[in-house]
Structure 1
């Protein structure tokens, strides 16, 4: 009998890869990358420092710094003085960045509707519930806390 958990994990990674590639295509239609799109989204409601944005996105600060520099170079974002930390400025979107983010978001919403048209709503809700429970279980066990098989 196959190990259903191992198969589920493989399926989740496969789905994540497919969704990532689709996200890249959505962002590319507006001349952006998914990494830029994610960071623009992260700082769209509130200016954040690079370390804050990295924590929010769950990725390395160095990668976020590179993308932040790309966004500021493209005038989609800018660094503002941080009154709480002189050496860690706040990243915020420019007007052009907000316009670009709105365009990407509209494309993503259209793509999501097209995907959802082929999947019953109750199946989507059930999949979300299982993924949420799985995520919670993984968090409860803690990374690296798995016992050796006996």
Structure 2
């Protein structure tokens, strides 16, 4: 295994660990509001602007089918609603409802506490640099995902 392969493995294992940590923290934050972290992810994706299911899936990196299942539950529970999509007749937009906004507001105080604690642990500059690096990593993976492997 060469150095690049070791770095790729280390990056992947670290991201898998981070994913587990974020999901556990998300569940802790979301459960008092009566929602799951999966519901929160979808609601957060449409909090500021309605999106089609496919757009939500791209934004949060999960399958369209998974987002569709969660969106249907959120609509059934009154936390989101479907709206007509002027750009596509069949692909409705998912929008957060007033009830969904209220659920997110219930999460905000503890979310703020966690964000402050993490910023204090890392330092504001390192926290921002970490987010920038993770964003660049995701963009790099997007850019190479469609490339054909070279022999």
TM bucket (normalised to shorter chain) is 0.7 to 0.9
Q: 5+ residue gaps in structure 1?
A: none
Bigger radius of gyration, 1 or 2?
Answer: 1
SS of 1:92's equivalent? Answer: strand
TM-score by length of 2: 0.78
Distance 1:39-1:118 versus aligned 2 partners, 3 A rule: same
Q: Does 1:41 align with 2:44?
A: yes
Q: Equivalent residue for 2:134? A: 131
- Classify 1:56/1:125 alpha carbon distance in 2 versus 1 (closer, same or farther; 3 Å): closer
Match of 1:23 in 2: 26
3-state DSSP of counterpart to 1:91: strand
Task: Find the counterpart in structure 2 of residue 81 from structure 1.
Answer: 84
Listed one character per residue, the Cα deviations across residues 92-116 of structure 1 (whole Å, up to 9, x for unaligned) are 1211111112222332222111222
Moved over 6 A (4+): none
- Indicate the RMSD between aligned Cα atoms, in angstroms: 2.6
Partners of 1:90 and 1:133 lie apart in 2 by 28
Shift, 1:22, TM fit:
0.6
Pair 1:125–1:33, CA change in 2 (3 A): same
Number of aligned residues: 148
1:107 aligns with 2:110: yes
1:71 deviates by: 0.7
Alignment partner, residue 61 of structure 2: 58
TM-score, normalization by structure 1: 0.79
Higher helix share: 2
Structure 2: which 5+ residue stretches go unaligned?
none
Counterpart pick for 2:94 among 91, 95, 101: 91
